[in-house]
Structure formats: structure tokens, C-alpha cells
Amino acid sequence: MKRIAGMTWLVLALHAGGLSLPVQAADTPAAAAAPVVLPPMMVEESISSVPWLHVHAGGTEFLSRCSAYTTRQFVEAWLTKVQLLRVLVPEEFQARMDVPAVCVLYGQDLKQTVSAEIQRELQAGEARNGDSPPGSRVNIAPNMRLSDRDMHATIVYIDEAMFDGSNLSITAGHVRYILKGRVPDLPAWLVEGIERTYRRADFVLDPITLDPLVWHSQGESDALASDPTRPRALLPANELFVTDALRAVENQHPRRLETRASEQELFFRWAFVTGGPTREALWKFAVRAAEGPVTEEIFEASFGFGFSELRDRLSDYLPTAVEETAWIDPGRLPPLPRIEVERATPNQIARVRGEWERLAIGYVQRRLPQVREPYIAQARRTLRRAFDAGDRDPRLLATMGLCEIDAGNEGGAREFLEPAIAAGVVRPRAYHEVARLRFADLRRGVPETKLFSFTELAPIFYPLRRALTQAPPLAEVFVLLAEAWARCEMAPAAAEFAELETGARLFARRPTVGFPIALALARHEKKAEAVAVLDASAGYATDENTRAGVTRLRAELAAALAQPPADQVPAALP
């Protein structure tokens, strides 16, 4: 089965590629030669008479301009593929989001995805900068997935005459996204091992099919298959399971890197294909590995044997892995949820389409900022259409507020975000943005050393604590919570200390989260707890500044802990 890499969320069989337009795309010759991929811009409602259809199923809102039959076929195929993915990766190890994902299905001529505004911006750029260099182009992607910190959205173009839902496939890039979004963070060796295994998996055939593993190269794999006694070098397990920080400073020789990548896949494939207790041990081990650095004792507690035997077992399994095709019986899948294809309401059109168009703003800003304005204008038009008609759905308001944040208009975001969170919208990022803006207002014009009363900080604490009740947990929520407590005159209560410690546990692999939490704990005389947070995250620091900051604070706290309490210091002699 052919897989198309890149930003597509789903691979649509027999689907046409994107459009290209000449453009002055970059300032440097090297960058000018590379095409810039832009999100499609949907035609305005006044131009197309094709009705929108809506489906909400399986944690995703689908907005479709395809026929009801194609829409249903697509949704059923997508939900089936999600179920099959859970056979390979249990739901516990995937990102969990309370905000529904968004998927826009479109069946119109791709030429309509290049708006007149974009063409004018590109032509104006050419007029200012001269003719485009040879080969400089913009590609309009027919399929694309864009993500925010608490949700993701996809646009998919379908040729209805050729569409066959059974040929849909989730891309490896999306699999990586949902693995990386899991909290607590999964270790890199597990994410990469699963992703590489998935790239060789076929979820169209029944049962699930895993093509033979490729060890370094096809030639090396063929040689191992022909001669199982052929020498091969494997990393010892204590190196295979090292933290990201240690990986960053290890030998970067290409041969070693390829051995690491191949062995990560080999380990996951061995444990998964073996099945039974070995597969159960894999997931038990994965839970422990997400909580902190791997030791041989942790591994042995899951598998019942140590690192040396693991290396022997992987070496013995390798000749089989490079030769055999593995079949995985998915068993009896649960029934699909009820799928109701209905005519979309103005609210659904504005929210779902507007969410996609909002996400496109940041993407375009990073890649081709000179055409950002048409994307901003279109997102605002889509969202305002429902708002101006009187719609005050908190979900719509939250998207409008985030749209203004992404467009750089923070001052205009509050009028939408404040009523959205007051109505209890399910949108973790909305609560964080409101708290961030309120905290910025409070700190404006005052010294960084000034402490605030709990009453002054309560409007910051409230939305942050509301965000903690929604998924996914956001690292930036815990960081801002810690920064606010570090500026508070009053010490947190036990439940509030527990919230900070939860953040340190969930994001133990991110010293940029642990460090401000440790500072807040230390500020309120929880020095031992602060040291524990730093100790847990210190091994994951990948840059020198973070390592230096953690080391300095640990030393200061250690010195403070070594001093006896003030009430135990003997009085000075007269």
C-alpha cells in the first residue's frame, strides 16, 4: 500500500496533487528553490451553492461539501481506521483531547482553493521584488492537518467519482502527532519505534499486515535473512532506553543513528508481534518509562528478565523480523457510533470552517507571511457571519478570540474569550490565554520583585484551575500557575501545592515546566519538594541554559536545606 508522507492526515487513494503558482517565496537562493506549501482557501458561501453537511462522531466534527453518501462513507472509514490504530497502540498511549477534532471535506475543483486575494498578494510581491527565480513556486495542498495545543483540524479534498473509503489510511505523521501529544510524555525511543513499525503496516488488508523489517538497508536485511548467523551490532539496552538529553550528546555517527532507529523498531515489533504476556509487559513498561528514566530494575519488573537477555532475544529475533510478514488479528472491533449526516447549521459552518481557517493563519505566518492577511480576513469573515447574526455559542466565541490572538490582535481577543470562559467553554487554551492576558495586565509597570495579594491573583488562578479540569493538560498552564504562585504573598494551600506537583509529574520530561514549579515551591518554603522536582527533570535538559539554571537552583536549595531551622540555631553569646 502506497503511503504519502507530509502533512496529510489521511491518504486518499487516486487523489490528485496540489496546485502550483509562481511566487517570490524567500530571500535566499537556497530557500527560493523550495516550494512553499500553503493551506487551501475555501470559496465563499456566495460563490458556491453546494450545501454543507455536518456529522459529529467519534470525537470529531466533520463538515462536508461532498454528497451525503460520500460523507457517510468517509466518516465510517475514518472511525474504522481509528479503531484499528488502537489495536496497534492502546488508547491510553494516545493524546486525549476534550475539544473535538475538526475535519473539512471538499469535493470541488481544486482551482477554487486559490483565492483572488492570495493571487493579488503574490503578484504584488513579484512586482516589488522583480521576477520570481526559476523553480520558485507555491503549492496549495489538497490535504493538510494543522494543530493547536488543545485540538487539531484537517482539510481533505475528495474526487467523489473515484473515492473508495476502504483505501483510506491514517498517515504516519498523524500517528506521531497523537503519540507526541500523550501526557505524560512517551519516551522518544517508543514514539519512534511505533512510528517506524506503523510505516510498514497495512491497515487496508485484513488482518493488519506488518511488512518485513528493514535493518539498516534492504541489502543488509536480505543478507541476515539468508544467513541468521551473520554478525550484527545492537545497542545495549541501557543505551537504547536513554533519555533525550543523553541521546543529544551521544555519538552521532550515521551508522550508530541507523542502528538506534532500526533497533527501536525491532524492540517494539518483537514485543508486539510476540503477543500475550510479552505485549502486556511492553505496555506496562511504557507506563513506567513515561514516568522517569529507565533502569534495568524497572525493565525486569515488567518483562521478568534483564538487559543482557533482552539484547540476546532481539538479536535472535532479527533474522525472523527481516524475513517474515506478520499478521495481526484485530479481533472483534466495537460497533461504530451512530452516524447522522445532517444539513449543517450556520453555527456549525462558522465554527468548524472558522476553526480550520484560524489554524491556517499561524501556519502561513511561519512560512509565507506576505500572504497572511487574506487568511486572517477569510477566517474573520467566516466567524463574524454567525456572530453578526446573533450567535453567542461559547465555542464560537472561543474560536473568535483565539483567531484574534493568532492574528496578533491580543487587545481584541478579550471581548470574545472572556464571555466564552464565563460560559464554561471546553477549550483549555482559551482559559490559558485569558489568564496570560490578565497576568500581563497585573504586572505591567511594576517591578519584577513585587509580590501580589491572593485577591489580586485570583482572576489569574481561576481560569488556570478551570483549564486543569480539561484535556489535554497544557504545560503552559502549569508554568503560568507556578509563575503566579511565585509572585503571591500567601502560600498555596495543600490542594494548590498538589496541583503544582501534578504538573511536575505530568511534565517530568520537560525541565522548562519543572523549573518554574520548583521556583514556586522554594518561594513558599517547600525546598525539599522543589529539589525533588529538579532531580526528576534534570536529566532531561537538552540545552546549556536550562541545565545551568537547574544546576544553580539545586545548589542553592541544597545549601538552604543544609542550614538548621532558625528556631534551632543557638543564640549568640553576649
Q: What is the secondary structure of 463-494 as a DSSP string?
A: HHHHHTTSSSPPHHHHHHHHHHHHTBSSPP-H
* Dihedral pair phi/psi, residue 63, rounded to 5°: -120, 120
CATH number at residue 468: 1.25.40.10
Q: What pLDDT shows up at residue 46?
A: 55
Does any domain span residue 473?
yes
Q: CA-CA distance, 508 to 534, in Å (whole number)?
A: 9
CA atoms within a 13 Å half-sphere pointing along the CA-CB vector of 470: 24
Burial class from Cβ neighbours inside 10 Å (0-12, 13-18, 19+) for residue 270 reads buried
Kindly tell me the burial class for residue 14, based on how many C-beta atoms sit within 10 Å of its own C-beta (0-12, 13-18, 19 or more).
exposed
Structural domain includes residue 568: no
Q: Are residues 387 and 409 in the same domain?
A: yes
Instruction: Report the distance separating Cα 204 and Cα 207, nearest Å.
Output: 8
Helix 394-406 / helix 372-388 crossing angle, nearest 10 deg: 160
Asked whether residue 349 is assigned to any structural domain, the reply reads no
Chosen domain end from 401, 425, 449: 425
Structural domain harbouring 537: 427-563
Looking at the structure, tell me whether residues 31 and 175 fall in a common domain: yes
List the beta bridge partners of residue 144: 155
Q: Which residues contact 487 (CB under 8 A, 6 or more apart)?
A: 443, 450, 451, 452, 457
- 19 three-state secondary structure: strand
Domain identity same for 299 and 217: yes
> Domain for residue 478, yes or no?
yes
Q: Which residues contact 54 (CB under 8 A, 6 or more apart)?
A: 61, 62, 63, 64, 341, 342, 343, 344, 345, 348, 349, 352
570 lies in a domain? no
| Cell of residue 208, nine digits | 493488519
Domain contains 86: yes
What's residue 23's pLDDT?
35
CB count in 10 Å sphere of residue 352: 26
Same domain, 399 and 259: no
Residues 154 and 175 in one domain: yes
pLDDT (0 to 100) of residue 396: 99
Q: Are residues 79 and 43 in the same domain?
A: yes
Distance CA 220, CA 63 (A): 47
Please report, in tens digits, the pLDDT of each residue of the chain (574 residues total).
333 333 334 433 333 333 333 333 333 334 445 788 889 887 665 556 789 999 999 999 999 999 999 999 999 999 999 999 999 999 999 999 999 999 999 986 545 555 566 666 666 665 565 555 433 477 788 899 999 999 999 999 999 989 999 889 999 999 999 999 999 999 999 999 999 999 999 988 777 999 999 999 999 999 999 999 999 999 999 999 998 888 877 878 899 999 999 999 999 999 999 999 999 999 999 999 999 999 999 999 999 999 999 999 999 999 999 999 999 999 999 999 999 999 999 999 999 999 999 999 999 999 999 889 999 999 999 999 999 999 999 999 999 999 999 999 999 999 999 999 999 999 999 999 999 999 999 999 999 999 999 999 999 999 999 999 999 999 999 999 999 999 999 999 999 999 999 999 999 999 999 999 999 999 999 999 999 999 998 888 878 888 888 888 888 888 887 776 544 434 443 3
How much is the pLDDT for 43?
65
Sign of CA dihedral 233, 236, 241, 245: negative
Same domain, 229 and 318: yes
Q: Give the domain-ending residue among 314, 344, 374.
A: 344
Asked whether residue 305 falls in the same domain as residue 414, the answer is no
Domain limit, last residue, from 425, 451, 483? 425
Shared domain for 418 and 437, answered yes or no, is no
Residue 574 lies in a domain: no
The per-residue pLDDT for 128 is 61
357: number of Cβ within 10 Å: 27
Residue 512 and residue 417 share a domain: no
* pLDDT on residue 103: 98
Statement to judge: residues 221 and 306 lie in one domain: yes
Claim to verify: residue 340 and residue 431 sit in the same structural domain: no
105 within domain boundaries: yes
Cell of 196: 517506524
Rounded to two decimals, the pTM is: 0.89
User: Looking at the 3D structure of the chain, how many domains does it have?
Assistant: 4
Cell numbers placing 521: 515551591
pLDDT score for 565: 56
